[in-house]
Structures are given as structure tokens and as C-alpha cells.
Amino acid sequence: MRIEAVTGDITEQDTDAIGNAANSSLLGGGGVDGAIHAAAGPDLLAACRALRASTLPDGLPVGDAVVTPAGRLRARWVVHAVGPNRHAGQTDPALLRSAFTRSLDEAAAAGARTVALPAVGAGVYGWSAADVAAEAVGAARDWGAAHPDGLDLVRFVLFSEPVRAAFEAALAAG
């Protein structure tokens, strides 16, 4: 499995699945979440509302992920992951790593071979880019080792050069 880091717009990625840094409600928000919902159109929100009405009435737990169709995006699926909010006292790096691991689980289960993921937790949830990069890259490496035929590509699509540099450093470290 190839792992790479690029700066760019996750909504423009030509991968089977893209990841969303979602909140527990799954009903949209700011940052990556808002951009994905805006680009995907109303079908994405409808799919999220259907999940809330059926299997996730209390929302998606921190550290977990769920997949929906991608609406108008190039990707076929959106994998929504909820990272821990450091500002709310959620400081366990295992929850952050779990958001990435569960994203890969869900993407592969949906049938994706390629996935683009954002820096879940590095925005308004207050995690440093270096911490997110270490957990994300570690999760991807561990997942790839445990599932050698699971995915062909994990691309971290990052919103700024400093965040990309943190991911490049994490990739180089191991």
C-alpha cells in the first residue's frame, strides 16, 4: 500500500473514497466537513440524515467512522470520521489514531482501493499537525501491514504547506 501526502482540496481528489473530518452529528459543519457537504450536494446530507434516523440515532462516536455515498463528488464514497476534540478535554491519541484506522476499515469494506484522508483533528479540534501526522501515518502503516491486500493508496490531502510538511516528516520517520 502506497502512502503519500499532498497539499490540496480533498473534494477534488480522484480516489474511490475521500475522508471527512466530521462531527458526531454527521449533519455538516465548518472546515473540511462544510466543504465536502457543499461540494457533494444534498444527497450527502440526506444519506447522513438516514444514518441518524436508523443506525446512529445518537450520532457517530469519537474515534469511529462510517461510509456514505459521495453525492456529486468525484469519489464514490465519503468516509466520515470523528476525531477527538482537544478543546473539550479529549486528549487520548488512541482516539485520534482510531479515527484514521476506522476510516481505512470503512473505505475497504465499501470496496475502495484508493482513499484520500484529511488531517482529522488538526483544525478546530486543536491537535497539532505533528501529533495528527504521527497518529495518521502510524495508523495507515499498521493498517496496511495487517491488510496487505486491502488498499492500494492512502493519500493524505492537507490544507496547508505546514501541515503537509508535518506529514512528510512523519512519513520520513518510519
CA max distance for the chain: 43
Boundaries of every domain in the chain: 2-173
Residue 43: active-site member: no
Q: Give the residue-averaged pLDDT of 44-53.
A: 97
Residue 95: the pLDDT is 97
| pTM, two decimal places | 0.97
- Model pLDDT for residues 62-71, shown as the tens digit of each residue: 999 999 999 9
Instruction: Please report the pLDDT score of residue 30 as a whole number.
Output: 87
Say what angle helices 129-146 and 161-173 make with each other, to 10 degrees. 50
Q: In the prediction, which pLDDT does 148 show?
A: 95
Is the distance from CB of 74 to CB of 13 less than 8 angstroms?
A: yes
CATH architecture of 2-173: 3-Layer(aba) Sandwich (3.40)
pLDDT at residue 16, rounded to an integer: 98
From 9, 14, 16, 33, the catalytic residue:
33
Residue 174 has pLDDT above 80, yes or no: no
d(CA 81, CA 99): 5
